[in-house]
Amino acid sequence: MTALIEAKNLSRFYGRQCAVDDVSFNLNKGEILGFLGKNGAGKTTTMQMLCGCLAPSAGQILINGIDLLDQPKQAKSALGYLPDTPPLYKDLTVHEFLHYCARLHRVPRQRCAKAVHKAEQRCGLESVRHRLINQLSKGFQQRVGIAQSILHEPDVIILDEPTVGLDPIQIQEIRQLIKQLGEEHGIILSTHILSEVQQSCSHVQIIDQGRLILKESIAGLNRLMNTERIKLRTRQPIDIDTIKALDGITAVEVQSPHDYIVHFHAKTAVTDILAACVLENRWGLEAIAPLKKSMEDIFISLTTQTHA
């Protein structure tokens, strides 16, 4: 099966500054790919290259097997794009704007009404279809932006920071909409919000300083997060090799001569074993408490490593 998007060794330079450095990945139907990174990491530049708004300095982009640079019109016809600022004409009603966008997307005139009605229905816009866009809340305006990106039934939908500036209820509504759209399309969701990826996506990529530093399924990410930790404090310094030799323990971080973070495989009951080892060796057990790795821990750890 041909991938909806194949990005091969993409790079983009601004003068001598490298914004995107040798990025490669695929997107398949039914996948929601979370493209995660700090502000300035290269997310938006990558999104703009994938949409044909910005030419790569090197590399290749295939949309449904069609080269984006060689056949841009044919390749772009399979794309729906919502930039970080929705491109709305706010003096039009929702219905008028979507009809206008349908014609821009070259939806045949006889199919425009049906396409607009379907987009309004899927994005929950039926109740506001005759209201001016400038009278709508930020959340509804974002829905209009998503609606214009799906009018022509594209195989790929690219959403750049789709929940920025929304309140918590609006964020949940947009995330639910994205999950529904992901059942029929391939979606790339660019964000710097960690919880967005966990709640909305099936796969995750982390970009830092223009380079991909993690490509993983959400299930795989959860396995990383389930590598658990114990915080240990003793009166005397411990012997690291003795602790590492215990069953299930994978690593020991030394924070001070008396404070340690002990890493162990999830579902391994090591607390009692660890406590018994400390008592047996008379290191003086002062505190032992479980810790769990969050997505923030993984993100900070990975991005810190790339700066080292």
Domains of the chain: 5-216 (3.40.50.300), 227-292 (3.30.70.1560)
Amino acid 164: pLDDT: 83
Give the residue-averaged pLDDT of 77-102. 94
pTM above 0.95, yes or no: no
CA–CA separation, 183 vs 5, rounded Å? 17
Rounded distance between C-alpha atoms, residue 152 and residue 31, angstroms: 19
In this prediction, residue 291 carries a pLDDT of 78
Cβ-Cβ contacts under 8 Å for 212 (sequence gap 6 or more):
23, 24, 25, 205, 206
Determine the pLDDT at residue 84: 83
Q: Structure tokens of 99? A: 């009809």
User: What is the share, in percent, of the chain residues with pLDDT greater than 90?
Assistant: 63
Give the least confident one: 17-21, 174-178, 289-293: 289-293
> How far, in Å, CA of 41 to CA of 211, rounded?
8
Is the pLDDT reported for residue 226 higher than 70? no
pLDDT above 70: residue 223: no
- pLDDT at residue 266 is higher than 80: no
**pLDDT over threshold 80, residue 254:** yes
Residues in CB range of 155: below 8 A, 6 or more apart: 4, 29, 63, 64, 78, 79, 185, 186
Q: Which two tokens stand for residue 151?
A: 């009018």
Query: Lowest-pLDDT range, 3-12, 276-285, 290-299?
Result: 290-299
Distance CA 307, CA 215 (A): 18
Residue 264's pLDDT band (boundaries 50, 70, 90)? confident
- Res 221: pLDDT: 75
pLDDT at residue 203, rounded to an integer: 93
pLDDT of residue 301: 65
DSSP state string for the chain:
---SEEEEEEEEEETTEEEEEEEEEEE-TT-EEEEE--TTSSHHHHHHHHTTSS--SEEEEEETTEETTTSHHHHHTTEEEE-SS----TTSBHHHHHHHHHHHTT--HHHHHHHHHHHHHHTT-GGGTTSBGGGS-HHHHHHHHHHHHHTT--SEEEEESTTTT--HHHHHHHHHHHHHHTTTSEEEEEES-HHHHHHH-SEEEEEETTEEEEEEEHHHHHHHHTSEEEEEEESS---HHHHHTSTTEEEEEEEETTEEEEEE-TT---HHHHHHHHHHTT--EEEEEEE---HHHHHHHHHHHHH-
Statement: residue 191 has pLDDT above 90? no
Residue 20's pLDDT band (cuts 50, 70, 90): very high
- The residue-averaged pLDDT of 36-64 equals 91
Q: What is the pLDDT of residues 163-181, one digit of tens each?
A: 888 888 888 988 999 999 9
pLDDT for 196: 83
Question: Does the structure show a pLDDT above 90 at 136?
Answer: yes
Average pLDDT value for residue range 274-282: 94
Residue 62 pLDDT exceeds 80: yes
Beta-strand pair 259-264/249-256? antiparallel
Distance, CA of 117 to CA of 98 (rounded, Å) = 9
From 301, 165, 172, select the one nearest 225 (Cα to Cα).
Answer: 301
% of residues, the chain, pLDDT over 70: 92
What rounded mean pLDDT belongs to the chain? 89
Question: Is the confidence at residue 306, as pLDDT, over 60?
Answer: no
Query: 26, 6 in Cβ contact below 8 A?
Result: yes
Is the model's pLDDT at 21 over the cut of 90? yes
